[in-house]
Amino acid sequence: MSAKTILHIEDNEFNRKIVRDLLARTSYRLIEAADGESGVATAKRERPDLILADIQLPRMSGLDATRALRADPETAHIPIIVITSFALSGDDQKAREAGASHYLAKPYSPRELLEAVRRLAPEA
């Protein structure tokens, strides 16, 4: 059984690096996208096992990206973790309504993130 693929959509290089370093010691294969549009395109092309999406992204927001992926039958089943900023209350609700499987508020603990990833897409 091949390694699970995780797509991380995040525009900040440092935050991408945290996830990259966090997953370096695991069996997950990580692919990355820096904006919402390319994230959706990558997801459709690569069919990852799990998607981590920041809520605020250039070109297309994390919520819109989640909706787009849920609307496509090819990607509708992929679990999505939305990373919110808790700017205004109701972010969590918006994430759920858009179709997120789980959400984490920034700043998140890498340890908690890994737990959520392992729960939604257990390592092979």
Partner 1 sequence: MAPQEATPRADSVVPIAAPGSGLGDRTALFLLTRSPLGALVQWVARVPASIHAKLLCAFLLVVLLFFTMGAMSLDTISRMSRHSRLLDEAHKRVDSSRQVEHALAMQMNFTAMALLLKDETTIGKILRENNRFNSTLAQIDQAAPSEERDLIQRIRAAQDEALTSVADIANLLRDGKPDEAMKLQLASGYPLYERIEGLVGNLVKTEEHRMESLRESVTRADRRAMVLVGAFVGTSILLALALGFVISWSLILPVREAGGFLSAVSKGEFGATISVPNRDEFGALADHMNRMSVALHQLDEDQRQAARQLRALNEQLERASRAKSEFLASMSHELRTPMNAILGFTELLLDGTYGDVPEPLKQPLADIQTNGWHLLRLINDVLDLSKIEAGRMELSLVEYLVPDVVGTVQASLRSLAMEKGLEFRIQVPDDIPPAFGDAKRLTQCLLNLAGNAIKFTPSGRVVIQVERQGDQLLYRVSDTGIGIPKDQIENVFAEFRQADTTIAREFGGTGLGLSLTKKFVELHGGRIWVESEVGRGSTFVFSIALRVEEAAPA
Binding footprint of partner 1 on the chain (CB under 8 A): 12, 14-15, 18, 21-22, 24-25, 55-56, 85-90, 93, 106-111
* Cα–Cα distance list, 41 to 53, 60, 99 (Å): 13, 12, 18
Query: Considering the complex, what minimum distance in angstroms separates the CB of residue 12 from partner 1?
Result: 5
User: Which residue number, 27 or 85, has a Cβ lying nearer to partner 1?
Assistant: 85
Please report how many Cα atoms fall inside a 13 Å half-sphere around the Cα of residue 77, on the Cβ side: 5
Query: Considering the complex, what minimum distance in angstroms separates the CB of residue 91 from partner 1?
Result: 9
* Helix, strand, coil content of the chain in percent (nearest 5): 40, 20, 40
Query: Considering the complex, what minimum distance in angstroms separates the CB of residue 94 from partner 1?
Result: 12
User: Which residue number, 61 or 75, has a Cβ lying nearer to partner 1?
Assistant: 61
